[in-house]
Amino acid sequence: MVVAEMAHAARLVLAIGLVALLAATGLTLGFLDADTTVFGGTYRIDLIAGWAKLILLPGTALALLMARAEIAGRAREGSVYALIMLVTLGALMLSGAGDMMVLVIGVVMTGIGSFALVAWPRDDAATEGAMKYLVFGAVTGSVMIYGLTFWFGGTGSTLFAALGRLDGQTLVTVAGLVALIVGLGYKAALVPFHFWAPDAYDGAPVSVAAYLSVITKVAAFFAFAQALRDLPREAGWPLALALIAAATMTYGYLAALAQTNLVRLLAYSSVAQSGYLLMGVVALGVSGFAVPGLQIFGGAYVAMNLGAFAVVMAAGRALGDLEGMGRARPWLGAAMVVFLLSLTGIPPLFGFFGKLYLFTAAVEAGYLWLAVIGILNSVLALGVYLRLVVPMYRSPAGAPGQTGGPAAPAGLPLRAVLALCAAATVGLGVFASLLPG
């Protein structure tokens, strides 16, 4: 890909990326039942890492198509594709990390590429968003690296499999845990480490915002799962994460209620969805629904969030751009309704089954109050997303009898993304009971 980009062959870069992603997805199918490690135990090949690949690799392919629809023919087009692939490589390292150093490398790789992607437009908004992203990432990354040294000192090893030795070492355990929450909480946009997200997403191209809202976020939760499943629950980390989950989903939806910029609204929605994903991490090792919940809701989240951003690409960034869209472009309006209802958790869509697994996992882990907060926030989410649905099916103000203002045409790549995301959101929701895990 790098050679193709040096030759300014952007289409070749895109083709190589798509072929590689699809081939890697196919090869992953043969390793879903594996439970082993490589490179001295530093990288895990197990159910969590396998499903992460099945989610992240196709999600990246869809993001590449979205980027093609948005930036085709523009300068440094191929660089965007190459950077997206670099970030995905880092995300895969995070999701299979069995060692503290591999975790750190994954954080660094996803960060370097992400900063550059946000800054790609070279305008004031992009520069501001990228700088906030960079500074916040540098600080949280440094805290994480420093804090993880306590775990190394307490266990004598950088392997997560050795974390059981921390039993009884409360201060050492807490110091490393705080560091992990800071470093991965930033990646996952958990409250209070979310402040970079709205500005970074708003300054970046919509396709880049869509990509960052799903790939690096989902990878961070799989990294949480890989690290914390070996940490004694007696250290109190489930309660700490449960409190963060409750605060994250509540704040995200409350902040989204005040937004008129669709990208920022979806950014805060993305923050709220992080709270739901964290519920699966809270229940690790206690509920049999924890890992399947992360897998199913992670896959659903990638499909429905990429789809919602794809509609924004076709319609415009402002809430007013949705006026009458459902009448003028019925297929686009219907797709947006599907994505938003799935994000809310309405059956029989994919997002509903993901939340059902996560709520069940939280209850089985003894966190009924967290499941109740999650359900109440799903009601709040309905209010957030109805703010988008209602304008789509009413006539634009000042233009009686007309529907839909000027909007960018949806080319073949974007139509393909919308169709695939909608099919996954509806189809996998209907057949969710057949999913392994």
Closest residue by Cα to residue 104 from 173, 182, 201: 182
260: DSSP letter: -
Closest residue by Cα to residue 260 from 172, 198, 325: 198
Phi-psi region of 236 (alpha: psi -120 to 50; beta: other; left: phi over 0): left
Which pLDDT score is estimated for 316? 86
Helix (H, G, I), strand (E, B) or coil at 37: strand
Question: Whole-number mean pLDDT of the chain?
Answer: 88
Span 275-330, pLDDT tens digits: 999 999 999 989 889 999 999 999 999 999 999 999 999 988 888 888 888 888 88
Which pLDDT score is estimated for 97? 92
Rounded mean pLDDT of 392-407? Answer: 53
Which pLDDT score is estimated for 294? 93
User: What band does 33 get if pLDDT is binned at 50, 70 and 90?
Assistant: confident
Span 73-118, pLDDT tens digits: 787 888 899 999 999 999 999 999 999 999 999 999 999 999 999 9
Assess contact for 173 and 165: CB atoms under 8 A. no
pTM for this entry: 0.91
DSSP string over 92-140: HHHHTB-BHHHHHHHHHHHHHHHHHHHTTT-SHHHHHHHHHHHHHHHHH
Distance CA 73, CA 78 (A): 10
What does the block give as tokens for 370? 């967290």
Rounded mean pLDDT of 399-424? Answer: 68
Where does residue 435 rank: exposed (0-12), middle (13-18), buried (19+ CB within 10 A)?
Answer: middle
Is the pLDDT at 407 greater than 70? The verdict is no
Which pLDDT score is estimated for 200? 92
Span 225-244, pLDDT tens digits: 999 988 888 778 999 999 99
Which pLDDT score is estimated for 236? 84
Give the orientation angle of helix 262-282 with respect to helix 350-364, to 10 degrees.
40
Assess contact for 241 and 278: CB atoms under 8 A. yes
Which pLDDT score is estimated for 14? 87
Give the residue carrying structure tokens 């634009």: 396
Assess contact for 230 and 167: CB atoms under 8 A. no
Which pLDDT score is estimated for 399? 44
Q: What φ, ψ does residue 272 adopt, rounded to 5°?
A: -60, -40
Helix (H, G, I), strand (E, B) or coil at 21: helix
Is the pLDDT at 3 greater than 70? The verdict is no
Span 132-189, pLDDT tens digits: 999 999 999 999 999 999 999 999 999 999 998 888 788 899 999 999 999 999 999 9
Assess contact for 250 and 377: CB atoms under 8 A. yes
Which pLDDT score is estimated for 435? 52
What does the block give as tokens for 200? 């970074």
Distance CA 32, CA 50 (A): 5
Which pLDDT score is estimated for 405? 38
Which pLDDT score is estimated for 344? 92
